Structures are given as structure tokens and as C-alpha cells.
Structure 1
């Protein structure tokens, strides 16, 4: 088990997350104290590291996402607009950057385009979001939004957990 604490730099949040790794699979449970309240989440991947399930709760609102056989369910309802996406991206945490970093395991200098189910916090709304990950060093990855000018150079540990996400998050333990 790994435990990490992140400080949100843009949103003045503090997050504590426990992650259980088994091969490529991962189960993470986190709590984020945000200005909008406490977000609790659970994220699971399958044996290949592909996103499988997430449950989130904040301020009396809940959200459940699952992905199986190329189909996305949001609160039990099929969301065809998300089909083809392979990951989730929760706006309030750098944990979800770990999923594609671990699953892709790219050689240095290689890039991959992915689509995510992006979750806005605190609204818990979900939209499709195109992204690109490029491995630029042993512990550095460039994240790019494919539909905006946003990009960031992420520093990660040996498990792919984000240690530094400039301007947004940094590990404090």
C-alpha cells in the first residue's frame, strides 16, 4: 500500500489517498478537503491497468462511473458519448493522471493520444476530454489537452504517482 498527500495549489485543497497496487491493477481511496466541501472517491482499474470503476461523493451528491467492454455507465445509465474513452480524469486530483501513465508505460520520447471521461468537481458532471501523454524522461511526462492550449510537465515517482504538477498540485508526503 502507498499513501500520498497532495496540496492543491490553485484550489487550496488537501488530499490524502491510499493506493493498493497489485501488478498493473490499482485500487485508490481518497479524501479531498476543498473550498466546496470534502470529496471522497474510490477508483479501481483491472489487471491490465484499464479504468474499471469510480465512485465519488461531495456535498450530498454522488457519482458512479463504470467502464466495461467499451461501454460507459454513469449512475447506471449508458453514456454513448463517452464510449471510446479509456480513462477518467477527476479535476480535483492528480491521482487520475497515474492511470494512463501506468497503463501506457511508454518509452522515453513516445506519445499516446487518449480520451477521458473528465469529471468536474464539485458539480460531478462528466464530459469527454481528448488528451495526450508524452514520456519525456524516466520520471517526467508531458500532459497536453488536445482541445485547448493547456500543457504541463508532470514529475512522478516509481509507481507513476504525481509528485509535482506545476501550478496545480504537489506531493507534501
Structure 2
């Protein structure tokens, strides 16, 4: 089972490959995550700002995501039921994580919450927020814990309908390398 230490107060990822840009994240006050991504993808610039409320078990309780005059509010009850902009969204029933298309950080949520042992797999559907329209939809995902790499870092096989890859995490349970998308930047 993965045991991670508390993350630092500030983090950053350099987006590369699919998009070029940066994501910065601040983890104080504890359990409210604030961040922003600015990048260029397919010759179009975008910026997304967010605040995500988590429980100490890394279950998403709420999120505010904004981009150039558009904003979406998500509220979760912790039992797998969601409201999007105040309206119940039954398509998200059974979801415990938010996943922002613009963020490498949000891949930490299911890894922490599930605490998988090597060889274990779990489905981790997410409330996925598009970077361009801020539309929210259910994203099916699956994480499988792999043996640690030679440096002792946690590895996971990640699957969603549009992507399959291996993700490497640091001692904080944060993605170090999201192939073709982002790498952790020193802060």
C-alpha cells in the first residue's frame, strides 16, 4: 500500500508535448488546493484557475473552476453524489474525484484515496472538467499499482478511454511524469 507524506506548500508542472505551458498549485490552507494552468494547445491559448476542497482522505468535496468569464461550481456530498452549478448530476453518481483536463495535479486524488497495494487495481471514475468549455462529464478511469521503480518511486498503470500510460509519483503522491503531457518542475 502506498504511504505518502504531506505535499509541499507550492508545486509546479511544466506542460510539454500535447500542450506548452505551466501549472502552479498551492496547498495551503490544508485541504483547499488552489492552482492555475496557462498553456497553448493546438495553437490556442487557455488559462484555467481552480480551487478544490478535499477531505483528509483525499475525497473531493467541492471545486470552483474558472476561465475568462466562465465558471463552474461542483459540490460533492462525499458519498458519490454531485451537484454541478447547483443542479444534481446523476451521471456522476459513484464518483469521488474531480479531474481537470488542464491539470496534472488532480491525478493525485485517486492515488491517495485508493491507497492501492502493488498488483491491485481499482476503477476511479472522475468528474472531468474540460479546459475549453468547463463542461463537466463522467470520465471512466482505472489505476493499477505497479512495483516501485529503481529509485523507490510509486508507479501506476493508468487507463481511460482516450489514454493509457504509466504514471510515476514522488514521495508526496504527486505525478512526476505524465508522458506527453507534463513533468514536475522544481520549485
Normalization by structure 1: what TM-score? 0.90
- Give the drift of 1:157: 1.1
**Number of residue pairs aligned between Structure 1 and Structure 2:** 168
- What value does the CA root-mean-square deviation take over the aligned residues? 1.6
CA contact (8 A) 1:102 1:159 kept: no
Deviations 1:20-44 (A, max 9, x none): 486xxx3211011123332111112
More strand by share: 1
Say which SS state the counterpart of residue 176 (structure 2) adopts.
strand
Q: Hey, which bits of structure 1, 4+ residues long, moved more than 6 A? A: none
CA contact (8 A) 2:80 2:92 kept: no
Q: Which moved more, 1:61-70 or 1:35-44?
A: 35-44
Distance 1:123 1:13 in 2: 19
Deviations 1:104-132 (A, max 9, x none): 11111111012111111021011111110
Task: Establish whether residue 154 from structure 1 lines up as the match of residue 151 from structure 2.
Answer: no
Q: Tell me what 2:55 maps to.
A: 46
Question: Which fold has the larger relative contact order, with Cα–Cα distance below 8 Å and residues 6 or more apart in sequence?
Answer: 2
- Unaligned stretches of 5+ in structure 1? none
CA contact (8 A) 2:71 2:134 kept: yes
- Within a 5 Å distance, the mapping from 1:1-173 to structure 2 comes to 1-9=8-16, 10-20=18-28, 26-35=31-40, 36-68=45-77, 69-138=79-148, 139-145=154-160, 147-148=161-162, 150-173=163-186
User: Alpha carbons of 1:21 and 1:152: their partners in 2 closer, same or farther (altered >3 Å)?
Assistant: farther
